[in-house]
Structure 1
Amino acid sequence: MLKKISASLIAILIIFSLSASTYTKAYECNKEGEILNKEFTVCIDPGHQGKGDPKGEPVAPGSGNKKPRVSSGTAGIATKKAEHVVNLEAAMILKDLLVQKNYKVIMTRETADVNISNAERAEIANNANADITIRIHCDSINDSGKTGATILVPAKNSQYTKNIYCESNKYAEILKKTLQNNNIKVNGVFERNDITGFNWSRVPVVILEMGFMSNYNEDRMLSDPKYQKLLMECVSESIDKYREEFLKN
């Protein structure tokens, strides 16, 4: 009789053990699925706008130092196209690429006819609790031979941006490598403590200066939809890689 009870008890324990194991695996699977399906928010800020606003705004919260709310940007030496137009063209390509991948995308602007200051753009990303903010710009310098993309990040030692430096720089380094792997020249990743859109940001943020509109050939490339798409595919791919790292943590 005792042997029969023991055998029955063992059988019950085995069944319970298998059942618990199956439940645990199912839970882990569901948990993993929840993580993978977590909404990841990207804020895209096409730099500048149709008309600049020279009125001053604090360069950082509580700062007495002021800069223009937003400048009008540069223009192409070859195409004569305004920078704000090129920035928006590229940004809309990036938006489409990310939407296709089911990212949640927040745009600071989708037209030139706006007046949104740099601090206000940062607040748009803050209010959306963006996981990463990509600010799209073009460069210009008094050296027609200068070419290549440049990536700017918040300063690690600034009181305003020290909390977002690490994640911003992590994405910047991924983007740098992705661009280089696609044969796009990158001048480097540089910290800045004087950029209003950085100092007001509470979420990770980078500026991609896509190239120099002061260089004749690169200016033409920056207005080429194929080159714009190549650049934005690099940005999109880098977001994928950054998100993978983000989810691991």
Structure 2
Amino acid sequence: MHSKNRIVLLIVVMLFAALGFSLTICIDPGHQKEADLTHEPIAPGSETTKAKVSTGTRGVSTGIPEYVFNLELSFMLRDRLLEEGYDVVMTRESHDVNLSNIERAKIANEANADLCIRVHADYSSDNTLKGFMVIIPSSSSKYTAPIYEESRKAAEKIHASLLQISGIKSLGIRVRDDMTGFNWSEVPVLIFEAGFMSNPEEDVLLSTSDYREKLVEALVTGIADYFLTK
């Protein structure tokens, strides 16, 4: 983050704190150690259901489970956001949990989060595919129309910030209307797909502390830029 922007944001956060307000970020480290394949409604009142939560993918080179990567990166993001003066709520802080996607959305709702970041890595049967993407809820869905605009704004700022990392590849900002965690959310939300664990080179890259630090700094900058426009 540019020093000027950081100073402005710190002043804003301090003013909010003095007035009894704070900016709250909910971080949802995707997946968990044991899947829960029982079903839950994809949206409030919907007859369509999906599995509550899966274990995610696994690195083809490193063997690191996605649920482990997600939590490790989320802890790094949490610590940096706390340093910047945000309040942070985590949906999970261990692997041995059983939290459905509805329950994760409700944690962010109950915290009245100003933004929810769902942290994931990706998989494809095409092992040449690589790059990060940001996924947001749909503007045309009745479940997510109220949170679309702010989710989009946050995604655009975060996406622009991530593009400043040298050599990084973007697969863009994508819209989904079939995500349980989106459809049950009452607060702005996005999914950060950090890269493809099915790509041998990117899987190794995602395991390095240097690259993880770059991703986290870019996320923090993007989050700050989003709040500075509100």
Secondary structure at the counterpart of residue 109 of structure 1: coil
Q: Structure 1, residues 113-168: CA drift from partner, whole Å, max 9, x if none?
A: 00000010000000000000000000000111101001100001000000000000
Percentage of identical aligned residues: 46
Work out whether 1:139 is the aligned partner of 2:116.
Answer: no
Partner of 2:222: 238
TM-score (norm 1): 0.84
User: Helix, strand or coil for the counterpart of 2:145?
Assistant: coil
Q: What's the offset of the Cα at 1:35?
A: 4.3
Larger radius of gyration, structure 1 or 2? 1
1:189 aligns with 2:173: yes
Distance 1:159 1:82, change over 3 A: same
Structure 1 residues 22-65: Cα deviation after superposition (integer angstroms, max 9, x where no partner): xxxxxxxxx99744754000000000001110000000001111
- Larger helix percent: 1
Most deviating of 118-127 and 237-246: 237-246
SS in structure 1 of the partner of residue 154 of structure 2: helix
Q: Give the structure 2 partner of residue 220 of structure 1.
A: 204
How many residue pairs end up in the alignment?
Answer: 216
How far apart, in 1, do the equivalents of 2:223 and 2:15 lie? 19
Residue 10 of structure 1 corresponds to which residue in structure 2? none
Stretches (4+) displaced over 6 A: none
- Residues of 2 paired with 1:35 and 1:105: CA distance? 15
Q: Distance in 1 between matches of 2:16 and 2:86?
A: 14
The answer as to whether partners of 1:108 and 1:124 remain within 8 angstroms in 2 is yes
Mind listing any 5+ residue stretches in structure 1 that lack a counterpart? 1-30
- In structure 2, the CA distance between the partners of 1:34 and 1:150, relative to structure 1 (3 Å rule), is same
Give, in whole Å, the separation in 2 of the partners of 1:196 and 1:210: 20
**Contact persistence 2:13–2:22 (CA under 8 A):** no
Task: Find the partner of 2:24 among 18, 41, 47.
Answer: 41
- Offset of residue 182 of structure 1: 1.7
Check whether the contact 2:161–2:222 (CA below 8 A) recurs between aligned residues: yes
Please report the TM-score for the alignment, with normalisation by the length of structure 2: 0.91
CA shift for structure 1 position 229? 1.3
5+ residue gaps in structure 2?
A: 1-11
